Amino acid sequence: MLNRQTLSRRQFHLQTGLGAGSIALNAMLHQPASGSERFQLHHPPTATNVIFLFMSGGPSQVDTFDPKPELDQLAGSDVPESIAQNVPKIQRAGLRNLMASPWKFHNSGESGLPISELFPQTAAHADSLCVIRSMSHRNPVHGPGECVALTGTGTGDRPSLGSWTLYGLGRQTEHLPAFITMNVHTDGMQYPQAAGWGPGFLPAHCQGTVVDPILGIQNLTMPEGVDTNRRQHEIQAIQQLNRNFLATVTQHSELEARIRSYDLAFRMQTAAPELFDLAREPDTTHQMYGLESKETQTVGRACLLARRMVERGVRFVQLRVGGWDAHGNLKANHEKMATRTDRPIAALLKDLKRTGLLDSTLVIWGGEFGRTPTMEGRAKGRDHSPAAYTVWLAGGGIAGGQIIGETDAIGYAVQDRPVKPQDLHATILHALGIKSKQLLFDHHGLQENPLGVSGGSALVDLFS
């Protein structure tokens, strides 16, 4: 309880009410302590920033980056027994009626990387992409699958990858959150999982800040009649009240995060409007990202903001694009989603190269799982399939133009070099200079690390 000698209950409520309306979102923001105060890098990093392009709903691997010509010959037949025996039991219902891909694949770049005609503009960056075809886990449900992909466990009770990054490395900028999430196109039933940007058992300040790419960060404008000097005095009063209360309790992670958030929010009232002012970008950049087109403007704006964020020191940017769940009419679904994403993502890669940021920014593309090579019912769609799916990485020291792992002849199950989500997480942290098993947090006496009890290993041969 609050010490009455320090502050009366009535005074506390009166004082903490100052400016509450204008900074209602501030508790979501964070200003973690500098990582150097807590953690020293285990090895020289190849990247200092991350942009995770999360394609929610489950893009089909056999229609995007893992071509399977045998599906053309086997279309309409059942999965061969030699392959079916390797399919996890939970997916054994989906072994009938193989379906060929509606799209052709083209060998792209000097590396000849096969990429579906769905992504003609991304294909121009083939020599920068490292395609992992052998991603695999065992959860075929969207929500838990998304938690697996972003936290390493389907229960959603562990820290997100972005939060671990923040915990280990801290901030790069004094004026913006270090971990920002943008959720766009939440089509269908695949609602964003808060665990994907949540801190889990880590300190509350490690939580990601959710930002609308169209509206920006809300409630940052000074109310009418309030100038900078007055706001600074209000925040100082609130901060003193919070610190007085914090001194009466042993530990209060949420309050500590709130105290940090007020100082950051005050600085953001200058920095954030500038970040979201895309009018400062030339018309050629707007056109490159597709901001003039209805189909691409939302993802295009988010991708352009992602570049501007890392340019300004945001360490971890997570862009979630929902809508890839193609149970019916795979062709219409994936063409719609590719139209939304191909041009903006290709523009992001091009822009990062142009500015030199791709050398220090690791970009990841992928969803929570893949899809079956079989048709679901008669709907000409594909069902969920975590047994094998594809992600790609670019920049941040990654050697492009290469393929990691292999699936069977029809793309149903991993045949060579299986890669777990935890392995991918370890690889991302490795690029940032972190050995995952040595980044520890004491949680109720247990020394937790980003990989949990299931473990994982960085794919160090991905790097040039």
Domains along the chain with CATH numbers: 9-462 (3.40.720)
Environment class of 292 (CB within 10 Å of its CB; exposed 0-12, middle 13-18, buried 19+): exposed
* Per-residue burial over 329-357, b = 16 or more CB atoms within 10 Å of its CB, e = otherwise: ebeebbebbbebbbbbbbbbbbbbeeeeb
**Res 254: pLDDT:** 66
pLDDT higher than threshold 70 for residue 10: no
**Res 265: pLDDT:** 61
**Res 186: pLDDT:** 72
Share of the chain above pLDDT 90, in %: 72
Rounded Cα distance between 271 and 267, Å, is 7
**Res 248: pLDDT:** 75
pLDDT higher than threshold 90 for residue 11: no
Identify the bridge partners of residue 393 per DSSP, sorted by sequence position.
130, 364
**Res 155: pLDDT:** 94
List alpha helices for 106-252, DSSP H: 142-151, 161-169, 228-246
Structure confidence by residue, pLDDT tens digits, 388-412: 999 999 999 999 999 999 999 999 9
Q: What are phi and psi of 442, to 5 degrees?
A: -80, 105
Q: What are phi and psi of 23, to 5 degrees?
A: -130, 40
Provide mean pLDDT across the span 436-454. 95
pLDDT higher than threshold 80 for residue 103: yes
Q: Which has more pLDDT, 191 or 135?
A: 135
Average pLDDT over the chain, rounded to an integer: 87
**Res 40: pLDDT:** 81
Confidence of residue 246 (pLDDT cuts 50, 70, 90): low
Provide mean pLDDT across the span 274-297. 96
Confidence of residue 313 (pLDDT cuts 50, 70, 90): very high
pLDDT higher than threshold 80 for residue 7: no
In the chain, the amino acid numbered 62 is: V
Which residue from 120, 160, 29 is spatially nearest to 429, judged by alpha carbons? 160
pLDDT higher than threshold 50 for residue 225: yes
Q: Which has more pLDDT, 192 or 236?
A: 192
Provide mean pLDDT across the span 272-293. 94
**Res 200: pLDDT:** 97
Provide mean pLDDT across the span 294-310. 97
**Res 191: pLDDT:** 87
Provide mean pLDDT across the span 316-328. 96
Query: Which pairing describes strands 361-366 and 49-55: parallel, antiparallel, or unpaired?
Result: parallel
DSSP secondary structure letters along 288-324? HHTTTSTTTHHHHHHHHHHHHHHHTT--EEEEEE---
Which residue from 263, 284, 295 is spatially nearest to 177, judged by alpha carbons? 263
Which residue from 390, 340, 29 is spatially nearest to 208, judged by alpha carbons? 29
Half-sphere exposure in the Cβ direction for 16 (13 Å, CA): 16
Structure confidence by residue, pLDDT tens digits, 335-350: 999 999 999 999 999 9
Contact between residue 273 and residue 224 where contact means Cβ atoms under 8 Å apart: no
Confidence of residue 21 (pLDDT cuts 50, 70, 90): very low
Neighbours of 144 (CB within 10 A): 19
Query: By three-state DSSP, how is residue 210 classified?
Result: strand
Provide mean pLDDT across the span 158-176. 94
The structure's pTM equals 0.86
**Res 27: pLDDT:** 33
